[in-house]
Amino acid sequence: QQEKIEEIRQYYNPNFNTSPFYIYYYKDINNYFTPFIGTWIYQNGNQTFIINFWKETKSAYLDKKPKHYIDELKGHYKLVQNYGQPNEQVIYTSQKNVGNSITPWPTIVMANQPMESYIMRGTIFDVAGVLNPSYPTGVRGDLEMIINPANPNTAQWKVKLPPGIRLSDQPSTFTIPTNITLTKVNQ
């Protein structure tokens, strides 16, 4: 099969027709992810919530039908006491490994329908609270981050439970912030 590059929006376009003769690479050609990449913080007293985003290019989904590659915006978060001070202490972090492996859980995946350079939607897994062994990825949430066009170094961060039915033992309370304004501190 030959590889064919398509704009990432085509992946989310229900009217886009694929051909079995190609393995598609849905690429962030218009750099929708670029404004999000870097470190963002929210300060609350002596505690700082920190998010770091990076772009993973050409993530392979060759076991899916149809086979494809796609660019993804991923991230990790942590809550730190006395951020930047000699007595800095991490209260929680999303950088946890899968089981006993050295592979970290992908706790933030922001790739859903990148249509504009300042709005991103995706999935977040809150692994900060007490984890139920039946749900090792914690509370699954829908994440929306909107960069302020008037001040691109600030963004609104909102997390909510996805719609649908949940099992009675399924976690549904977030430990991470669910509605805050972030400030970008570096690229």
Q: Give the pLDDT score at 112.
A: 60
Q: Is the pLDDT of residue 111 over 70?
A: no
For residue 43, tell me if it sits in a domain: yes
**Amino acid in position 149:** P
Q: Is the pLDDT of residue 59 over 80?
A: yes
For residue 8, tell me if it sits in a domain: no
Q: Characterize the bridge pairing of strands 47-61 and 68-81.
A: antiparallel
Q: Give the pLDDT score at 113.
A: 60
Which of 8-12, 102-106, 127-131, 161-165 has the lowest average pLDDT?
102-106
* Cβ-contact 163, 141 below 8 angstroms: no
Q: Is the pLDDT of residue 97 over 80?
A: no
Q: How many domains does the chain have?
A: 1
Q: Characterize the bridge pairing of strands 22-27 and 2-7.
A: parallel
For residue 118, tell me if it sits in a domain: yes
Whether this prediction's pTM lies above 0.85 is answered by yes
> Model confidence over 118-175: pLDDT tens digits?
999 889 999 888 777 788 788 899 999 999 999 999 999 999 999 887 788 888 899 9
For residue 86, tell me if it sits in a domain: yes
For residue 141, tell me if it sits in a domain: yes
> Model confidence over 66-94: pLDDT tens digits?
889 999 988 999 999 999 999 999 999 99
> Model confidence over 30-48: pLDDT tens digits?
999 999 999 999 999 999 9
Q: Residue 118: is it exposed, middle or buried by C-beta count within 10 angstroms (0-12/13-18/19+)?
A: middle
For residue 9, tell me if it sits in a domain: no
For residue 49, tell me if it sits in a domain: yes
Q: Which of 153, 143, 152 is nearest to 179 (CA)?
A: 143
The two three-digit tokens of residue 36, written as one number: 């999000």
* Cβ-contact 4, 25 below 8 angstroms: yes
Instruction: Print burial letters for 70-109: b (CB count within 10 Å at least 16), e (below 16).
Output: bbbbbbbbbbbeebeeeeeeeebbbebeeeeeeeebbbbb
Q: Is the pLDDT of residue 103 over 90?
A: no
Q: Is the pLDDT of residue 104 over 80?
A: no
Task: Tell me which H or E stretch contains 146.
Answer: strand 139-147
Higher pLDDT: 57 or 97? It is 57
For residue 7, tell me if it sits in a domain: no
Domain region containing 157: 34-54+73-186
